[in-house]
Amino acid sequence: MTDPRTLFIAGASTRAAAYSALRAGLKPLCADLFADRDLKAVAEVRRISLDPPTLDIAANLPASARWIYTGPFENYPGLVDQIRSTLPLWGTCGANLKAARDPVRLARSLKRAGLSTPELRPDPAGLPRDGSWLMKPIASGGGRNIEPWAAWSRLSDDPVYFQERIPGPSYSALYLGSLGRAALIGISRQLLGLGGQPFAYRGGIGPVRLPRSFEAQLARIGDRLADEFRLIGLFGVDFIAHAGRAWVLELNPRYTASVEILELASRSPLLLEHGRVCDIEMSGDGGTGVEDCRGEPCRIVGKRILYATRRLTAPDLSIQPFVKDDPYRVPEIADVPDEGTEIEIGEPVLTVFAEGNRPGDCAARLRLDVNRWRRRLGLV
């Protein structure tokens, strides 16, 4: 029996992707900001900084190895291409990343296809300061530093743009892209809001069902973006459901936080399909491109990130090890820090999971479990 292929994973947090790699029969090797305890239990981990990120570890991997990135590496297209020059990439290359992350180009592409997306402005000149527009960083990540443009707002020192605010619930659609087409894998409801960060990502619940008219729109959105930006493998689209339309807010051309939710819910190794279409693209043999790889969901899965509301020293928390014979077991908690880790206000502590038969059941159970962990950690 040959050893499993090594998959190098780089990002701010790589634990979810590492467990996806294990479900796909791969050997994860990770570089991230946290080096959490449950990640180190299943992978060799290098702790890195994003200021700036350095990934020399990728130069010494076997020729059969591949690599993927998680957020916020889509904001470092030059680094992506630098690593890609020495290690084959399962994902979208740097040049296409740069185009895909251009909010103006994204909006123009969608509008040309008759799809819905909010109006954009490069600066606040003439915009009302009533919260009906949002100031968003160009290099965004996890919904952080997005603010309503209001009377008290101050223009950020970082590059920003302004996006019309669309009311309604927030969702994330997950796709598999290849050869200019995309298959819709599933939809998750997003959980947003953290203290003074009203749009910060806190978690999600999925899969959820929307009316067929939305699925038809989302299918067109996926194909349009896969073709326009040559997206390869798993990618996500954040959107608002409003007035019967899917209003596209942002494109995440990479493995996203919702992959884990939909993978656990459907018991499908989505990273295996990701690798398959990426290898087809690299081989140039035409292949069959994307196929419907959605497993039939056997449950609804939710996860929510628990953030520190005070300075905290992580206690000794037990982890649930990955079990090869039960790879889709939903953990109670994940992203578990080492005992003694100092966690500052606003930083993630751990992720709480729940499951249910319906989205409402799952959401209720998730709230109960989050509150229980808050009490246990003294974060109430």
CATH topology of domain 168-296: D-amino Acid Aminotransferase; Chain A, domain 1 (3.30.470)
User: How does pLDDT run across 258-275, given as a tens digit for each residue?
Assistant: 999 999 999 999 999 999
Range 91-98 contact pairs with CB under 8 angstroms and sequence separation of 24 or more: 91/232, 91/233, 91/253, 91/254, 91/255, 91/274, 91/278, 92/229, 92/230, 92/231, 92/232, 92/233, 92/235, 92/253, 92/254, 96/229, 96/230, 96/231, 96/253, 97/253
How does residue 1 score in pLDDT terms, banded at 50, 70 and 90? very low
Q: Match 């939305």 to its residue by tokens.
A: 214
At the topology level of CATH, where does 299-380 sit?
Aldehyde Oxidoreductase; domain 3 (3.90.1170)
pLDDT of 196-215, one tens digit each? 788 999 999 999 999 999 99
CA 327 vs CA 27, 269, 321: distances in Å: 14, 10, 10
Integer-rounded Cα Rg, in Å, for the chain is 20
Angle at 47 between CA 44 and CA 50, to 5 degrees: 135
Cα 333 from Cα 288, distance rounded (Å): 38
Neighbours of 32 (CB within 10 A): 22
- Six token digits for residue 267: 């018991």
pLDDT digits (tens, 9 = 90+) for 149-164: 998 989 988 999 999 9
Residues 172-194, mean pLDDT to the nearest whole number? 96
Of the listed ranges 99-108, 189-198, 205-214, 283-292, the least confidently predicted one is 283-292
Which strand (E) or helix (H) includes residue 218? helix 212-229
What does the mean pLDDT of the chain come to?
92
**Class at the top of the CATH hierarchy for domain 6-89:** alpha beta
Please tell me the predicted confidence (pLDDT) of residue 292: 54
Domain ranges in the chain are 6-89, 119-164, 168-296, 299-380
Interval 34-56 mean pLDDT: 87
Element (H, E) at 337: none
Closest to 32 measured CA to CA, from 353, 349, 335, 340: 335
Q: What is the pLDDT of residues 113-168, one digit of tens each?
A: 999 999 999 999 999 999 999 999 998 778 888 999 998 989 988 999 999 999 99
Phi, psi of 66 (to 5 degrees): -130, 170
Instruction: Give the global pTM.
Output: 0.94
In CATH terms, are 6-89 and 168-296 the same topology? no
DSSP 46-115: EE--SSS---GGGGGS-TT-EEEE-TTGGG-HHHHHHHHTTS-BSS--HHHHHHHT-HHHHHHHHHHTT-
Give the C-alpha separation, 261 to 39, whole Å. Answer: 17
List, as own/partner pairs, every contact residues 314-321 make where C-beta atoms lie below 8 angstroms and the sequence separation is at least 24, other chains included.
314/338, 314/339, 314/340, 314/341, 314/342, 314/343, 314/349, 315/339, 315/377, 317/37, 317/350, 319/37, 319/38, 319/41, 320/38, 321/38, 321/41, 321/42
